[in-house]
Structure 1
Amino acid sequence: MKDVTSIRGALEYLDQKGEILHVKEEVDPIYEIAGIEKSFEKGPVLMFENIKGYPNFLDIGNLFGRREPIADLFSVDDPNKMKFKFVDALRNPIPPKIVKDAPCQEVVITKDIDVPAMLPIIKHTEFDAGRIMGCGNQLLTDIYRKGDTNISFNRIHFRGKDWASISTAQITHIGMMAFKTHRDKRIPITVNINPPPAAGIVAGTWNVRTIVPHGSDELGIAGGFQGAPIELVKARTVDAYAIANAEIVLEGYLEPTSENVWESEEAEKLGEARQGETNFFPEWVGYMGTTWKVRKLTVTAVTMRKTKPIFYTVLAAGLEYACFDLLREATFFELAERICPGFCVDVNIPDYFKWGSGVIFQVRKERAQEEGFQRNILLSALADAPGMRMAIAVDEDVDIYCADDVMWALESRVDPDHDILRLAREMRGIAAQPIEIRQSGVGGWEGGMAFDATKPYHKRHHYQRPHYPVDKINLKKWFTEEQIKKVQAMQTEYGRSLARTGR
C-alpha cells in the first residue's frame, strides 16, 4: 500500500515502479550533481547514495520532472487531469494536523550550527555566486490570520555558518509579508526540506492571486490533494511549526529589513546589483539570476531524521516545474470558471513557458453570447499573475499539449490587428525577467501579450478542420502490435497528435 504522506513512502513506491535511478558511485556537490541532473532532465528520479563529504546523507533530483509517475503516485489515470484533482483540493481543503512527536525531530542540533558543512548544498554552474540552496520550503503560519499557512520555494545562500540571504519576490505571499506587512519585524520561520510530495508541489506553485489570496491555508490545499492532513509539529527553538514528515528542517528567523544582506560578496563590495554582471545562479526564466539585497535568514536549529536524511537538489532553471505547475493550472482553470462557468475546458502550462511565464486556455463557445469571454479570461490571467508574459486561448479542436498545433492555431486564427492583446505598461511584474526594468526593489511590468487564437463564433464555419477516419479503423487488422509501435516511435509529436485525432 503506497504512502503519499511522506517523501520516503513516495520514493519507496516509485522505486518499486522502476522510476528511480540509483547513483552509487561518489558524486561531488560541486558541479557533478547538477551536471548529472541536467543530462537526465525529464528522465528518472535520481537517488545519489554516495555524496563526497556527506556520507550520512542521500540526495534526490528530478523528482517532479515528469508528471506520469506523480500521477500514478496519486492514483490519477491521466497525468493531464491532475490539475482537476487540485481544483477539487482548492474547493475541499483538508487543514493541517498538529502532532507532538515527529520524524523530522529525531535529531536536534542547536549548538555549533554550520549549515554548509552539514548539508550537501550544490554549486549549479561555474557562474554561481556560491553553493545555492533552492530546495527548502519556507513555512509561515498564522501570519495574516489564525489558521493561514504559506509554504514556498525561495533561493537561499549561506554566506555564514548559521545565516543566509533569502530572496522573496514582493508579488509572492511571503514577499508581500517581508516587503510590506512585516518588513520591520523579526519573523519566526522554518525551512522544510523534502516534505510530503503534495506539500512540495504546493510550495513550488506561483499561485493566481485572487484564487489563492494572502491568508489562505496552502497546506490545506496540499492535504486535500493527498487526501490526508499535512502533519505539523511545534519547532524546538522558535514560535513556528515544522512539517512533521520532512527529512530536514532549519528553524530560525527572517530578520527585519534593516538587517538586509547582499546575496553575494561581489555585490556587497560593489554596493549594487548589475544585471548580467553580478550573477547569482540559474533562474527559472532560463537566464542567470541577478544578485539582490534581500532579507537575512538566521538559523537557530537544524533538525532531521536519524537514519540517512534525504536532501533534495532541484535545478531552478530546470524542468521540475512540470509538477509545480499543477496547482497553477488549477488556479487558472478556477479563475476562468468564475468568470464564465463551463466555458473553459482545459488549461496547460507547457515546459517552454518556464514555470511562470505563460498559460494556454482551451475554451468551448456554445452560443454567440459567449463570444469575448476568452478575452476577459486572458486579460484577467495576465493581471492576476504578475510577471507572466503570455496567455493564449484556443478552441476545443486544438491540442493544447502539442506545441505544433498551438502554433498552427496562432498562425491561422490570430488577426494581428484585433487578436493580440496587451496590458498597460508600468504594472507590477517580477525582476527575474531580464526584459523588465528594476524599479524600487521590485520588477516593473514592461508588457505582456495575450493571443486570442479562437474562431470567431459567427465565422466558425470558415474554420472547419478535416477529420480523417482514424476512429473507424483498427490498425491491428493489417499490422502487428510491434509494427504499430515501431511506426509510432518514428512519428513526431505533431504526427502522433494528428494521428490520434484524425485532423
Structure 2
Amino acid sequence: MSEPTLTAANVTDLRSAIELLKQHEGEYVETNEPVDPEAELSGVYRYVGAGGTTARPTKRGGPAMMFNNVKGFPAFRVAIGMLGSRKRVARLLGAEPEKLGFLLKDSVQHPIEPVLAEPGRAFCQEIVHRADEPGFDLRTLLPAPTNTPEDAGPYLTMGLCYAADPETGEHDVTIHRLCVQSKDELTMWLTPGRHIDAFRMKAEAAGKPLPISVSIGVDPAIYVAACFEPPTTPLGYDELKIAGALRGRPVELSQCLTINARAIAHAEIVIEGELLPNVRQREDQNTDTGKAMPEFPGYTGEAKDELPVIKVKAVTHRLNPILQTTMGPGEEHVNMAGIPTEASILQMVERAMPGKLLNVYAHNSGGGKLLAVMQFKKSAAVDEGRQRQAAILAFAAFPELKHVMLVDEDVDIFDTDDVLWAMQTRFQGDVDTISIPGVRCHPLDPSQTPAFSPSIPEVGTSCKTIFDCTVPFKLKHEFERSKFLEVDVNRFLPGFNGN
C-alpha cells in the first residue's frame, strides 16, 4: 500500500473520509455483490465489523464497508461502519484513540459557528426530488435498510436532524430513529429531554409545523459532535459549532428548497420536511411486529404507539449518492455516543478537581452510554474519597450513565482484562459498592422496570452504581504491580508494534 497522502485535515465530507480510509489497510472494504437492504445488508456487516453489543458472533474493529449494488436501488450505494472502531474515529479526527475525549472537550471550549455555503457549494442539491411531483415515493427512492426481519420498517439511522427553536431561532442538531412509513412520511422517536422535541412542542403549542432537515452522509466530525447532550450543550447550543472546532473551520450549510430551514451543504442526501402538529402514528403500522429496531443495549426496542410525523417536502442528493447507515447495537454507536460522554465527564470533573481524573472510557459494553471507566489519581491521603465524588459528578455530567468503575492510574481503562483485574484484586463488594437508587437513566435499558426489581417504582428509573476498584491511599505501597525490565523489543523483532 502506498504512503498515505490524505490526513484528517483533508476531510470535508463522507467521500473524502472514505478516501482517507482507503489509504490504510484494514479500514475499508467494498463489494459489488447484490445485497438486499431488508435485513441482509446488516446481516452481512454483523460479521464484518459491527462489534459493540451485537449478538455474537460478530467482529469488533472490522473495516467500514461499502455496498455498491443494492437490490432495487441502482442509483445508490450504502456505506456502514464509518465510525465503527475507536482507532478509525481517531484517524478521521486526527488524534490518538486514548485522547479523543480530551479532543472533544477542547472543541466544546473553542466553538466555531457554522456558515451559509457560497453559491455552487450546496453539493447536497445536485439532484432534486419534490414530493409534489408524480411518482415521488421515499420507499422506492432511498435504500433505507431494515436491520432485522422484525423491524417495524425501513429506518434512516444516520440522519442528522436540524431544526430551529420557533421562538428564539437557536438551532439544534441530533440523530433520531426515523422510520419510513409512507411515500412522504417518517415517524420520529424523540427520547425525553431532547432539544428538538422541545422545539417541536413549542411549534405544536402554537398550532404550527416545525421545519426540519435530515442530512445523511456527512463529515464524521459532524456525527460525533452531534451526539453531545446536556448539560455540556444546553438548550439552544448548536453542536455544529463543535464540529467546526474539530476541523478548525466552520461547517457549511445550505438553505433548503421547500422549507425555511438549513441542512449540511456537503451531505450526500437531505430530506426536507415538517414535523406536523398534533399528528401521531404507530411505529409498526405497516408490519405489526411490535418491534422497532435493534438499539444500543443489544436488544430490539419496542414499537411506539404514537410518534410525531415528519411530512416530507423534498429529497435532494449528490450525484452518485451514498446512503450512510449504522447498526443500532454496533460499536459505531459506542463511538458516536461514548466519546462525547467522555468529554462531558472530563470537563465536569476537571472543573471540580483539576488534575485528578486522568482519563475516561465510555465502555463498549454499555453502548457508550451506560458504563464509564474512570482513571483517578490519588496523590495524597486527602484524595481518598474524592474518586467517589468524581463518579457522582460523572452522573451529573451525563444523566443517562448507569454504572461507573473507578480504577487507579496504573490500570489501562481501554483494556477490559486490566479493568476486571482491578476489580478482582482491588475491590470488596461490601465496602466498595455505592448505590444510588431511584434515579432516571436511559429508557432503552430493559432492566429498568418494577418487574425486574421491586426497588424500581416505574419504568425508566434505575439504581446507579459506583464500583470503586481503587486501592485505599494508605495501602498503595502494598499494591504495586510487578516491575519488568524495560527493553527495546525491536532489537529482537524489527518492526514489532505490540498490536
Question: Do both proteins adopt the same fold according to a TM-score greater than 0.5, normalized to the shorter chain?
Answer: yes
* C-alpha spacing 1:300/1:377, structure 2 compared with 1 (3 Å): same
| RMSD of equivalent CA atoms | 2.3
> Which residues of structure 1 form unaligned runs of 5+?
270-276, 490-503
Amino acid at match of 1:390: H
* C-alpha spacing 1:136/1:329, structure 2 compared with 1 (3 Å): same
Task: Report the secondary structure of 1:410's partner residue.
Answer: helix
Q: What is the aligned counterpart of 2:149 among 103, 115, 126?
A: 126
CA apart distance, 1:167 = 0.3
Q: Is 1:377 aligned to residue 395 of structure 2?
A: no
Q: What is the aligned counterpart of 1:166 among 152, 171, 188?
A: 188
Corresponding residue number in structure 2 for 1:314: 326
Q: What is the correspondence of 1:76-475 to structure 2 with a 5 Å cutoff?
A: 76=95, 78-101=96-119, 102-110=122-130, 111-112=132-133, 113-142=136-165, 145-146=168-169, 148-178=170-200, 181-184=202-205, 185-203=208-226, 205=227, 207=229, 209-256=230-277, 258-265=278-285, 278-292=290-304, 293-305=306-318, 307-324=319-336, 325-425=338-438, 427-437=439-449, 444-469=460-485, 471=486, 473-475=487-489
CA displacement, residues 277-320 of structure 1 (integer Å, 9 cap, x when unaligned): 72111111100101112211111111111x20110121011111
Q: What is the aligned counterpart of 2:16 among 9, 13, 17?
A: 9
Q: Return the alpha-carbon distance in structure 2 between the equivalents of residues 237 and 421 of structure 1.
A: 53
The worse-fitting range, judged by mean Cα deviation, of 372-381 and 150-159 is 372-381
CA apart distance, 1:465 = 2.1
* C-alpha spacing 1:384/1:13, structure 2 compared with 1 (3 Å): closer
CA apart distance, 1:20 = 1.9
CA displacement, residues 154-180 of structure 1 (integer Å, 9 cap, x when unaligned): 1111111101211010133334444x5
Corresponding residue number in structure 2 for 1:492: none
Q: Return the alpha-carbon distance in structure 2 between the equivalents of residues 458 and 176 of structure 1.
A: 50
CA apart distance, 1:407 = 1.1
- Contact 1:129 / 1:281 at 8 angstroms: preserved in 2? yes
Aligned residues: 465
Q: Return the alpha-carbon distance in structure 2 between the equivalents of residues 418 and 457 of structure 1.
A: 15
What TM-score, normalized to structure 1?
0.87
Corresponding residue number in structure 1 for 2:494: 481
Corresponding residue number in structure 1 for 2:455: none
- Contact 2:214 / 2:271 at 8 angstroms: preserved in 1? yes
CA displacement, residues 187-229 of structure 1 (integer Å, 9 cap, x when unaligned): 11100001221111223x253x222222212000011012211
- Contact 1:419 / 1:452 at 8 angstroms: preserved in 2? yes
Amino acid at match of 2:153: G
Q: Return the alpha-carbon distance in structure 1 between the equivalents of residues 489 and 443 of structure 2.
A: 52
CA apart distance, 1:67 = 2.4
Q: Return the alpha-carbon distance in structure 2 between the equivalents of residues 266 and 51 of structure 1.
A: 22
* C-alpha spacing 1:173/1:443, structure 2 compared with 1 (3 Å): farther
Amino acid at match of 1:236: L
Q: Return the alpha-carbon distance in structure 1 between the equivalents of residues 461 and 432 of structure 2.
A: 21
* C-alpha spacing 1:143/1:382, structure 2 compared with 1 (3 Å): farther
- Contact 2:291 / 2:303 at 8 angstroms: preserved in 1? yes
Q: What is the aligned counterpart of 1:44 among 63, 74, 94?
A: 63
Amino acid at match of 1:38: R
Q: Return the alpha-carbon distance in structure 2 between the equivalents of residues 434 and 75 of structure 1.
A: 36
Task: Report the secondary structure of 2:324's partner residue.
Answer: strand
Q: Return the alpha-carbon distance in structure 2 between the equivalents of residues 260 and 475 of structure 1.
A: 63
CA apart distance, 1:183 = 4.9
Task: Report the secondary structure of 2:413's partner residue.
Answer: coil
Amino acid at match of 1:262: R
Report percent identity of matched pairs: 31
Amino acid at match of 1:25: E
* C-alpha spacing 1:100/1:171, structure 2 compared with 1 (3 Å): same
Q: What is the correspondence of 1:53-92 to structure 2 with a 5 Å cutoff?
A: 53-76=72-95, 78-92=96-110
* C-alpha spacing 1:7/1:443, structure 2 compared with 1 (3 Å): farther
Amino acid at match of 1:39: Y
> Which residues of structure 2 form unaligned runs of 5+?
1-5, 50-60, 451-457
Q: Return the alpha-carbon distance in structure 1 between the equivalents of residues 110 and 66 of structure 2.
A: 34
CA displacement, residues 31-72 of structure 1 (integer Å, 9 cap, x when unaligned): 221111111013111111111111111110111012223322
